[in-house]
Amino acid sequence: MAITRGAKKAHRSSLKKQAFNLRRKNKMTKAVKSLKKLVASGNKKEALAMMREVQQTLDKAAKSHVIKKNTASRRKSRLSKLVKKLS
């Protein structure tokens, strides 16, 4: 456990950041899962609408360094490929 005042403060802030990052990561994974579920069911219109939301969540995760920028663009690319197959 942290001993100095500065170390205690750093530990508190790291716990807050961890909670924030976990929240953002969970939102991202839930959005991707729901999009894949829509693609599997064949709802093109709903999948297109959901794709916009997924892109936003991936961009926000990359912006706050939860995931890397290239990881976000790779996932967006692969998901858009899935959605395009529906047509």
31 CA to centre of own chain: 7
The residue ranges of every structural domain in the chain are 24-84
Instruction: Name the pTM for this structure.
Output: 0.84
Does the pLDDT of residue 75 top 80, yes or no? Answer: yes
Q: How far apart, in whole angstroms, are the C-alpha atoms of residue 69 and residue 47?
A: 23
CATH architecture classification, 24-84: Up-down Bundle (1.20)
Summarize pLDDT for 21-66 with one digit per residue, the tens: 999 999 999 999 999 999 999 989 999 999 999 999 999 999 999 9
Count of residues making up the chain? 87
Helix (H, G, I), strand (E, B) or coil at 2: coil
